[in-house]
Each structure stands twice: as C-alpha cells, then as structure tokens.
Amino acid sequence: MMTLCSLEGLKIVVYGKDKERSFVSAYQLDLEKALKMLLLLHLRCCRVLQSYE
C-alpha cells in the first residue's frame, strides 16, 4: 500500500494505492482537524511499514 499526502491551503489530498484499487480523497478542513488527520495518517503509515519489517 502506498499513501501520499499533500496539504494545499486547508485542503488535504490523499492518494492511495493497494493491490486492488487506487483512490483519491480530498478533505476541506479547518487547520486543527487537518493537522489531526495528517498525524493519524502518519501513524497509520508507520504501523503499516513496521508490519513489513
């Protein structure tokens, strides 16, 4: 699985790809919610990477 995130203003765009599908999600959020979402995505990606080690 691959996930890329970019923060454009207060819009978070998430690009993801796994074996079955690709997806793009866009979220228009206030700054506090945007930062929380980026933190959760980061932690989730770290857990996924650790599971491969």
- Per-residue pLDDT 10s for the chain (53 aa) are 455 555 555 566 667 676 677 766 666 667 777 778 788 888 887 777 777 76
- The domain total for the chain is 1
pLDDT (0 to 100) of residue 43:
83
Domain that holds residue 17: 2-52
Q: What is the pTM of this model?
A: 0.41
Q: 43 vs 5, 20, 31, 39, 52, CA distance in Å?
A: 13, 23, 18, 6, 15
